[in-house]
């Protein structure tokens, strides 16, 4: 009874295989023997041998004659024929799988940037399509055909910016990378309800003391059971950060879209706001995704508004900011505004870069010069 080839057998199947009769022709060439001489040794008519060498199968009778003529055991020729038949069968199976995989890959390209996904995940582009999809499934933990129905795709809450052209396929690609990364990196400690609040408070305090680094932030997050990593942005994908809830723990992914430490701190606090206010960890199988895009965060979405207010108030309490901005700066000079912001930062023991970033964000005066942002890297 024939059995279906295993995945290992298919992987070990050559790309192409020569007929056994081609091996006989090579043997004749190596020995300098003519087909006429071989036919004589095999007690065959030359025309029959010629027809056989065009690609007929090696039967037990032919194998026995080849042993007499070439002094190569019958078993060798029978094994060669048997392996050829196995390889031909497996090549046909693999080719059929490749056709199916090609159709799957073509369908996936409608929703995701597969070449970029393969590149980012170091999946060799020269592999068979099925092998690439198998590796992708292994990394994702679910069938590739289910990608568009995954909770991290369907339940994502996007803060979009209509000022910027976006590529939805690249957005899905980045989210998939973020999901895979979140499966791969886990915090050392278990997340406990309320830890996002504690992490935000500690990060905010350190930020205003000055000199905080991204590594410092990662250590704080890890201490409170929150995973952190960076996935560089993709083209036409204005994503700043995302927070994901999966397998009972939260993770924050940032993109370094802007090399600005103040902006990074705000984005991370924003995601901590989502974790604190909008994620429940009673069910380990629950999945939630929030994605931060550009700087004009949506004020229409309740959850985004709450996360914004969480980050803003954590960095600079509402009443403090209200007092600081009690005087209008609408028509004031750039130099005067900078001097005032520095004075207020000193008066309230706040980091000047954070105050200046908040002012530019709320006043939309992004062209305010004279402020050198602290770089992330």
Q: Which residue has the tokens 């103040």?
A: 262
pLDDT band (50, 70, 90) for residue 318: very high
Confidence (pLDDT) at 186: 87
Please tell me the predicted confidence (pLDDT) of residue 6: 65
**Do both 102 and 112 map to the same domain?**
no
Residues 6+ apart with CB under 8 A from 199: 220, 221, 223, 224, 226, 272
Q: Does the pLDDT at position 205 exceed 50? A: yes
Both tokens of 256, joined, read 């370094």
Q: What is the mean pLDDT of residues 324-339?
A: 76
Q: What is the pTM of this model?
A: 0.81
**Residue 178 forms part of a structural domain:** no
- Does the residue 92 lie in any domain? yes
List alpha helices for 155-299, DSSP H.
168-184, 195-209, 214-223, 261-278
Residue 180 lies in a domain: no
265/362 same-domain check: no
Of the three residues 299, 319, 339, the one that is the final residue of a domain is 319
- Position 198 in a domain: yes
Return the SS3 of 5.
coil
Instruction: Return d(Cα 254, Cα 269) in angstroms, integer.
Output: 12
pLDDT value at position 157?
55
CB-based contacts of 32-39 (< 8 A; 24+ apart in sequence): 38/69, 38/70
Q: What is the pLDDT of residue 2?
A: 46
Cα separation, 374 vs 2, whole angstroms: 68
Domain check: are 189 and 310 in the same one? Answer: yes
What's the pLDDT band for 34 if we cut at 50, 70, 90?
Answer: very high
Interval 116-160: pLDDT, tens = 999 999 999 899 999 999 999 999 999 999 988 887 777 665 555
Task: With respect to residue 1, please indicate whether it lies within any of the assigned structural domains.
Answer: no
Residue 122, token pair as written in the block: 């170091």
336 and 374 in one domain?
Answer: yes
Q: The domain containing residue 145 runs over which residues?
A: 108-153
Looking at the fold, whether 302 and 161 belong to one and the same domain comes out as yes
Residue at 175 is within a domain: no
Give every strand in the sheet of 288-293, ordered side by side.
156-158, 288-293, 239-246, 249-254, 227-230
pLDDT band at 296 (very low <50, low <70, confident <90, very high): very low
2: in domain: no
Q: Does one domain contain both 160 and 273?
A: yes
**Do 89 and 46 share a structural domain?**
yes
Mean pLDDT of 173-180: 93
Task: Decide: helix, strand or coil at residue 238.
Answer: coil
Instruction: Mean pLDDT check: name the lowest of 109-113, 237-241, 287-291, 307-311.
Output: 287-291
What is the CATH classification number for the domain harbouring 95?
1.10.260.40
As a whole number, mean pLDDT of residues 151-170 equals 70
pLDDT at position 148: 84
Query: Which stretch of 52-66, 259-273, 349-363 has the lowest confidence by average pLDDT?
Result: 349-363
Same domain, 159 and 239: yes
| Count of structural domains, the chain | 4
The span from the CA of 21 to the CA of 36, in Å, is 15
**Do 359 and 261 fall into the same domain?**
no
Residue 1 confidence class, pLDDT cut points 50, 70, 90: very low
Q: Across all residues in the chain, what is the average pLDDT?
A: 88
Out of 12-16, 78-82, 243-247, 370-374, which region has the weakest mean confidence (pLDDT)? Answer: 370-374
Whether residues 211 and 247 fall in one domain? yes
Helix (H, G, I), strand (E, B) or coil at 254: strand
Q: Would you list the DSSP string of 61-96?
A: HHHHHHHHHH---HHHHHHHHHHHHHHHHHHHHHHH
The DSSP output letter for 22 is: H
Confidence of residue 84 (pLDDT cuts 50, 70, 90): very high
Residues 228, 242: Cα–Cα separation, whole Å = 10
- For range 109-118, the mean pLDDT: 95
At 329, the pLDDT band (50, 70, 90 cuts) reads: low
176 assigned to some structural domain = no
% of the chain exceeding 90 in pLDDT: 62
pLDDT, position 295: 46
Question: Based on the domain organization, do 330 and 314 belong to the same domain?
Answer: no
Distance CA 40, CA 50 (A): 12
Crossing angle, helix 20-31 and helix 46-53, to 10 degrees? 120
For the record, the structure tokens of 231 come out as 């996935």
pLDDT tens-digit map of 235-255 = 998 899 999 987 778 999 999
Are 85 and 134 found together in one domain? Answer: no
Rounded to 5 degrees, what are φ and ψ at 228?
Answer: -145, 140
């Amino acid at each position: 009874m024939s059995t279906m080839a295993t995945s290992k057998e298919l992987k070990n199947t050559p790309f192409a295989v020569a007929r056994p009769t081609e091996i006989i022709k090579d043997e004749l060439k190596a020995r300098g023997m003519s087909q006429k001489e071989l036919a004589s040794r095999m007690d065959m008519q030359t025309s029959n041998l010629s027809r056989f060498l065009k690609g007929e199968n090696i039967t037990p009778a032919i194998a026995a004659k080849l042993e007499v003529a070439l002094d190569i055991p019958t078993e060798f020729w029978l094994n060669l024929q048997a392996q050829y038949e196995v390889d031909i069968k497996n090549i046909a199976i693999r080719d059929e799988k490749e056709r199916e995989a090609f159709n799957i890959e073509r369908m996936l390209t409608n929703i995701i940037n597969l070449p970029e996904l393969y590149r980012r995940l170091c999946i060799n582009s020269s592999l068979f399509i099925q092998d690439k999809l198998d590796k992708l499934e292994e990394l994702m933990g679910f069938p590739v055909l289910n990608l568009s129905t995954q909770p991290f795709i369907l339940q994502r809450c996007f803060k979009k910016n209509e000022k910027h052209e976006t590529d939805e396929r690249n957005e899905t690609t980045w989210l998939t990378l973020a999901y895979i990364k979140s499966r791969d990196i886990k915090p050392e400690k278990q997340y406990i309800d309320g830890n996002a609040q504690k992490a935000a408070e500690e990060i905010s305090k350190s930020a205003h003391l000055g000199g905080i680094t991204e590594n410092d932030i990662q250590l704080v997050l890890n201490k409170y059971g929150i995973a952190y990593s960076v996935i560089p942005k993709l083209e036409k994908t204005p994503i700043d950060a995302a927070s994901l809830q999966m397998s009972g723990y939260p993770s924050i992914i940032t993109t370094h879209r802007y090399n600005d430490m103040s902006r990074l701190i705000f984005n991370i606090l924003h995601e901590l706001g989502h974790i604190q206010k909008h994620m429940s960890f009673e069910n380990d199988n629950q999945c939630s995704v929030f994605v931060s895009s550009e700087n004009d965060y949506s004020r229409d979405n309740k959850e985004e508004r709450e996360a914004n207010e969480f980050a803003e108030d954590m960095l600079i309490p509402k009443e403090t900011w209200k007092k600081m901005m009690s005087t209008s700066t609408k028509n004031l000079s750039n130099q005067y505004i900078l001097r005032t912001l520095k004075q207020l930062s000193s008066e309230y023991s706040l980091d000047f870069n954070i105050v200046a970033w908040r002012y530019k964000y709320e006043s939309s005066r992004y062209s305010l010069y004279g402020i050198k942002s602290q770089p992330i890297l």
